[in-house]
Amino acid sequence: MDENFNIGKKVRKLRENKKMSTKELAEKANISAGMISQLERGSTSGSVETLRKIAKVLDTTLASLFESKQDTKKHRNYEALHVVRKKDRRKISFPDPLYKCEMLTPDLQGDIEFVLVELEANRITGDKLPHTKGGEECDFVLSGIIEIQIGSKKYTLKEGDSIRFNPEIPHKIENKSDKKASYISAITPPSF
C-alpha cells in the first residue's frame, strides 16, 4: 500500500478522534482545507512543514505519521529499543528529493532527535521556518559545505564544523555547492 495513503489515513483518524472537522484542522494548522482533503485522500503527500503543522495541531509527532505497524512490532525487540544498526536506520520520507534523513535513534519518544541528513548538490529552499519550541539544535558537518541561515545571519560550515542555535528562530539549511553534503543534527525536544 502507498505510504502517502497511510499518512493520509492516519491524519484523518487522528482528526476524527479529536472530533475536528477538516476546516478546523486547516485553520489551526494555517493551511488550506483543500490540502487536508487531498492529503487524507492520498492524492498528495504534503510538504514536511505542512505535515509538521498538522502533527502539532493533532498532538502527535511527524515521525509517528510515517511509522508503520511493522516499525511498532520491530521495537518490541529489546536491542531495538536502544541500538540502531546501520542497515536498520529508519528513513524519513520527504517530498523534496534533494533532502534525505535517517534516524540515528530507535524512535522519537526520548528527549532528543538525532538524525543523519544528506543534502544533494544545489539543494536550495525558499522558506525559513522554526520547528521546535524550548530547545536547542546542534549540527555537525560530516562532508561538504552547508549554509545555515538563522534569522538574518548566514553561516557557512565545512567538514568538521558545528553550530548550536535555538530552533525556534526561523532558519534554513542549504547546500549551494555542486557536491553532496551530509551532517548530523541533534535537536531537543524532537521536532519530527
Tens digit of pLDDT for each residue in 53-72? Answer: 888 888 887 777 776 555 54
**pTM of the full structure:** 0.65
Q: Does 107 lie in the same domain as 162?
A: yes
Q: What is the pLDDT of residue 45?
A: 72
Q: What is the pLDDT of residue 3?
A: 43
Which of helix, strand or coil describes residue 118? strand
User: Cell numbers at residue 146, please?
Assistant: 552547508
Return the higher-pLDDT residue of 128 and 137.
137
Amino acid at residue number 183:
Y
User: Cell numbers at residue 76, please?
Assistant: 518490541
What pLDDT band is residue 1 in, cutting at 50, 70 and 90?
A: very low
Q: Does 127 lie in the same domain as 54?
A: no
* End residue of a domain, out of 60, 78, 94: 60
CA distances, 96 to each of 14, 16, 63, 93 (Å): 25, 29, 16, 9
d(CA 114, CA 94) in angstroms, rounded, equals 17
Q: What is the pLDDT of residue 162?
A: 98
d(CA 63, CA 90) in angstroms, rounded, equals 10
In which domain, by residue range, is 21 found? 3-60
- Mean of the pLDDT values across residues 24-45? 88
Which of helix, strand or coil describes residue 76? coil
Q: Does 103 lie in the same domain as 80?
A: yes
Tens digit of pLDDT for each residue in 89-134? Answer: 888 777 778 888 898 988 777 788 899 999 999 998 777 766 767 7
CATH code, 92: 2.60.120.10
CATH code, 54: 1.10.260.40
Mean pLDDT computed over every residue of the chain:
84
Domain count, the chain: 2
Q: How many helices (H) and strands (E) does the chain have?
A: 6, 9
Q: Does 74 lie in the same domain as 50?
A: no
User: Cell numbers at residue 109, please?
Assistant: 519518544
- Contact (CB, 8 A) for 140 and 187: no
Tens digit of pLDDT for each residue in 149-188? Answer: 999 999 999 999 999 999 889 899 999 899 999 999 998 8
